[in-house]
Amino acid sequence: MPSLLTLGNLSLGVISIVLAFNNNTGMATLLVFVAILLDGADGWAARKLHVQSEFGKVLDSLSDMITFGAAPAFILYEAAFHELSPALGLGITILFPVCGALRLARFNVENGIKQYFVGLPIPTAGGLLALLSFFKDDIPVIVLLAASLLLSLLMVSSIRYPGFRNFHPSRRTIWVVLLILLILAGGGFLFEKQLYELLFAPLFLYVAYGFMTYMVHGFSDNRKNK
């Protein structure tokens, strides 16, 4: 069961890449977010069924590399970077999955279960990067380049982000969340821009929270050392 969810995540990532190269970046972005749900569901199912394994962990990372590393990079490249010089457009595009691979490799060799993530999790980074493609007409390309670079570096940084490993939702909560997501997905076809703005807000706040917390603690540590 968990592995099927993981393979579903991988399949959506491949479809998302195909859609991006066919200029359907909107649907490609939506599939990335469906994959985020599957990525969370496979881990929850593995813990619930007590079938966690190294095989599942590696398979999950390989799937994440495609869906949240390669696919979002292709989406934004097709939407905003393909007309730039190859050195710049391709360089920034390649950097994102490279940093994503390093982030996943570090995660796989970490010992023990921590209450936080070291570096921005790749599903969050990938979701945000894919969403940026929707705002390409409202945001200057230089800002999109800077945002892609920042997300890449945050993945391989030492900034701590809140983890949700001890989050154990009840069955009723899961069904309520699924119902809300179905309503949002249905409404997305009628109110696409509003849906993407709604998805953007919590991801942006999560990234900003980790960054600001790191900055505050960093200044605090420096003052203590003086």
Structural domain boundaries in the chain = 2-225
To the nearest 10°, report the CA torsion of 66, 31, 41, 54: -10
Looking at residue 86, its pLDDT comes to 86
pLDDT score for 222: 44
> Among 180, 171, 174, 213, which residue's Cα sits nearest to residue 199?
180
Higher per-residue pLDDT: 190 or 143: 143
CB atoms within 10 A of CB 9: 27
Q: What span, in angstroms and rounded, lies between the C-alpha atoms of 201 and 168? A: 24
Supply the pLDDT for residue 187: 59
* 197 confidence band (pLDDT: 50, 70, 90): confident
pLDDT tens-digit readout, 52-96: 788 888 899 999 999 999 999 999 999 999 989 989 999 999 999
Q: What backbone torsions phi and psi does residue 160 show, to the nearest 5 degrees?
A: -90, 135
Q: What is the pLDDT of residues 136-165, one digit of tens each?
A: 888 999 999 999 999 999 999 999 998 765
HSE of 96 in the Cβ direction (CA atoms, 13 Å)?
A: 35
**H or E element: which one contains 1?**
none
- Residue 220: C-alpha distances to residues 201, 216, 225 (Å): 28, 6, 9
pLDDT at 165 (0 to 100)? 58
Give the separation between CA 176 and CA 2, rounded to whole angstroms. Answer: 21
Superfamily classification of domain 2-225: CDP-alcohol phosphotransferase transmembrane (TM) domain (1.20.120.1760)
N-term to C-term CA, the chain: 54
For residue 118, the cross-strand partners are 160
Whether 207 has a pLDDT exceeding 70, the answer reads yes
